Chain A
């Protein structure tokens, strides 16, 4: 075996190792992207559900306050914008806009006690707030997955191949006014140590 054969062998081994590593990184990136799109469908379902409740609500309010045309138009515009939105950021903006428009609609409804007492109206209101809650909860899961995926895409050495293979960082679903206080979640290995640091409240 000559020296050049040995060199060739070493090069071959290095190439194979690099190839295997690239395959591994690629598969992880694909898995992450799939997870993000799965999490997105969780939000999307709730967004659609919320949008589908809006026309009924508008109809009911129109029955009492037909002259408030400006508000109805605003709501309709926001709703169709939400349905047209194609990216996470656009959806989030449209979601916020729809929330504002619905806020105006409910402000109008405030002036009509009969409307507020109507069973249909309260049921729709409840469904709507439930759908809003669900968007917020699904958003948590989505953003967590985006964070994981983006970290993988942008950090070294994954970023070396993610850009050449066409992996872009995913967009977060950020809505205004929904930011909650972040909590640091730490887990000590020995709970007794922790318990010793902060003495448990004495029984009274």
Chain B
């Protein structure tokens, strides 16, 4: 538990590191928008034009604009962070299009959740269902008292009672181990990191959308140019220091006079220009890609722990293992959710169509590894049973394809 909490803290720090340049990148972008979009057209007014006639005046307006932009970004950031902590659970449920159920709608599912909740000593979580054929499940919530277990319709169709017990016990263990708190927050932060791109495209994230491609090309080019410019500056400095060491030394002695702070400030300003050029790429793509990689890395070890705790509840490692095999073989059936939530699920929600970036770091350990660990908890799992489970999963998947 304490190791878990330490990992959580380390992770949140890492995430803060990711978010900082995101915020810093937003400031110059917003400054440019305000300066060129609002101020420049307004320059027609005589007062502003007179102010702008002097060099000092224009520098002043630029600085004022930047300050305004920074204020807006920071205020928005704080508001978003506050909202996120309060609304994270709801946000995740909305992102996955989960629907709340009552005891009367889904008596069997509810009974399983209630019973295993009793065995785990947890308050009965809310029960949500996603109307999707891809079999999967996850748990959300910032604390056990306000948690929810979410399963897809496909999971209920694919698994028998025994398998459902295993999956629900696994999800309840996530709640008991406080994994859901971190995962829910991560999902909410990721959703926000995806916002700028989402605002531009105003739609779900379609990898092939023309707008996304255009953004990727333009901002990517800008980022590449920025990197080249920075490299060029560095190369020039290095070359000068190598070829004319005496002159460089004299120049430094004359202009810096040991005033290193000034040197750092000027250096930073020289690099800030290219960085500003590169920032749209980071804001639109870089931050969410890095965030996704981090969130995927976190959840893996916890899956083994949740599997083990689930077996403590059900005393049935084979049931969970067979459910894993079935769900794994059937996965890939239409589950097109926001990628912000990938690390939450029982198994990887988008196995076959995953892009190269996400394949690098899987959000979950492989099903084979999980099954192998489960096999050692009981008396081993017969190969025929695994083969049968895989066949059932593949059949389910094929049926899904035909219907689609």
Q: Which chain A residues have a beta carbon within 8 Å of chain B's beta carbons?
A: 39, 42, 46, 130, 133-134, 137-138, 140-141, 144-145, 180-188, 191-192, 194-195, 197-198, 200-201, 203-204
Contact = CB atoms under 8 A, between A and B. Distances in A.
A70 to B, nearest CB: 34
Contacts of A191: 304, 365, 369-370, 372-373
B121 A42 contact: yes
Given A198-B375, A198-B376, A183 B315 contact: yes
Contact of B119 (A137, A183, A188, A204): A137
A138 B119 contact: yes
B315 A181 contact: yes
B111 interface: yes
Given A191-B372, A200-B368, A204-B390, 5 more contacts: A183-B316, A186-B376, A194-B369, A195-B369, A195-B372
A162 B116 CA distance: 33
A200 B121 contact: no
A184 B383 CA distance: 20
A186 B377 contact: yes
A141 B118 contact: yes
A128 B376 CA distance: 36
A183 B378 CA distance: 6
Nearest to B329: A203
Mostly, the B contact residues are: helix
B130 interface: no
B236 interface: no
Given A185-B312, A187-B305, A200-B371, A194 B119 contact: no
Contacts, number: 82
B114 interface: yes
B115 interface: yes
Chain B interface residue number, banded: 20 to 34
Interface string B300-313: 00001100110111
Mostly, the A contact residues are: helix
Contacts of B317: 183
Interface of B: 111, 114-116, 118-121, 304-305, 308-309, 311-313, 315-317, 365-366, 368-373, 375-378, 383, 386-387, 390
Nearest to A181: B315
Nearest to B307: A187
Contacts of A183: 311-312, 315-317, 377-378
Contacts of A42: 118, 121
A141 B121 contact: yes
B291 to A, nearest CB: 24
Contacts of B313: 140
Contacts of B121: 39, 42, 141, 144-145
Contacts of B376: 186, 194, 198
Contacts of A185: 308-309, 311-312, 377
Contacts of B309: 185
Given A141-B119, A191-B370, A184 B114 contact: no
Contacts of B114: 134
Contacts of B370: 191
